[in-house]
Structure 1
Amino acid sequence: MKGKQLRALRDELISDLDLPTSATTELVCVRLCEVMAQRLQRDIRLRFDDLGHTGMSGLWAQTNDGVHVIIVTTTRSWLHRLLILLHEIAHMLCGHTPMQMQADESNKILFPDVSPEMLRILAGRTSLSPREEREADRVAGVLTRGLLDWARQRQQGNDPFEPSADDAVGRLSLQFGYSPQRSPR
């Protein structure tokens, strides 16, 4: 995806989110999935689950009946969860192929208690190439910067996107250009 095309996609996606100025990071996560479901004309199920020792922070798969499932690890920070979700959504936007789940796997994962063993099985079956992972990272980075710019431009004192300066996610968001002191462009 070319830079100009990617920036247009970012702006369109952020506009489609139609977020209130009081939006929390959790609401942004939910709205991202709702907007992507509308774009794909498919059901998207978002779950936050402890991915434990699977070596993954996020997972995107598709059931036999076309339902997209995104699982994001439970981390202490909603900003970190958002970054992981943006990476999984970037795979969708890039047209990558999701991992396909068998019917029994789908039934187990769509219900509340996913076993760590099931998550390990799914983690071992991901088939995205290193090139696709880099492309998703690039797209997610552009989306992240766009959302952080949106958050910075809001005229509200309580900023749910504002990272704490002493955590890894905070340092990462600062690398993406977030600066609470910087004035809007």
Structure 2
Amino acid sequence: MAVDRSMWRRCQRIVDRLSIPTPFEPDRFVDALAQQRGRPVELVPMPGDVSQCGALVATDQVDYLFYATSTTRLHREHILLHEVGHLLCGHVDDRSLTALPPALLPNLSADLVRRVLGRSDYSAAQEQEAELIASMIAQRARRGPTGGTCPVDPEMAEGLARLGSIFDTG
């Protein structure tokens, strides 16, 4: 599915309004996002034996961003940014908690949670929109204050190199 211009522009407008810290740190970014939205957003790490992806759970009081921990830093960041994309695009509804194992939500009752979506519950267009938001945030996060790229730590560089090798046709 190709990204149409209207989706691209809509996503760009969303990302342009965000406060993205330099250097990029997921915790600082999510704190700034929560402050900007006027609503708490909490990061919830998921152990590797549970999932290799993420999920968004929105309650009446707080939004929870679940993300896998048993993967590279680059992948964890992308998972988190993808879920942020769903949050910013309003991809939440009144589905049940079946997307996440109950052990991850020991302090949340099912009746408290009004909206939850796991990755498989989104339409292809919503997934594409969340991916585009995640990529745009990551791109902005890697730019320095003058528009150049920020230094990348060794683990991030290794992940980027592996990702690049996947697409290398040469």
Common fold: TM-score over 0.5: yes
Asked if structure 2 preserves the Cα contact closer than 8 Å seen for 1:62 and 1:101, the reply is no
TM-score by length of 2: 0.66
Gaps of 5+ in 2: 1-5, 108-115
TM-score normalised by structure 1 residue count: 0.61
When residues 173 and 138 of structure 1 are mapped into structure 2, their CA distance, relative to the original with a 3 A threshold, is farther
Q: One-letter code of the match for 2:62?
A: V
Structure 2 Cα separation of the partners of residues 69 and 18 of structure 1: 20
Compared CA separation, residues 58 and 127, structure 1 to 2 (3 A): same
In structure 1, give the amino acid aligned to 2:34: A
1:22-46 CA-partner distances (Å, limit 9, x unpaired)? x4x6xx1112211221232211110
Q: CA deviation at 1:109?
A: 1.7
For residue 93 of structure 1, give the secondary structure of its aligned residue in structure 2. Answer: helix
Counterpart residue identity of residue 160, structure 1: D
Percent of counterpart pairs with the same letter?
24
CA drift of 1:138 comes to 1.6
The aligned residue for residue 110 of structure 2 is: none
The CA distance in 2 between the partners of 1:51 and 1:76, in whole Å, is 8
1:160 to 130, 153, 167: 153
- Give 3-state SS (helix, strand or coil) of 1:150's partner: coil
Gaps of 5+ in 1: 112-121, 177-185
Equivalent pairs counted in the alignment come to 149
8 Å contact from structure 2 (residues 91, 126) kept in 1: yes
Which residue of 1 is the match for residue 81 of structure 2? 86
Superposed CA RMSD in Å reads 3.7
Between 1 and 2, higher relative CO (CA 8 Å, sep ≥ 6) is seen in 2
- Shift of the alpha carbon at 1:110? 6.1
Do the aligned partners of 1:46 and 1:69 also contact (CA within 8 Å) in 2? yes
Give me the whole-angstrom Cα distance separating, in 2, the residues matched to 1:60 and 1:98.
Answer: 11
2:20 to 17, 21, 33: 17
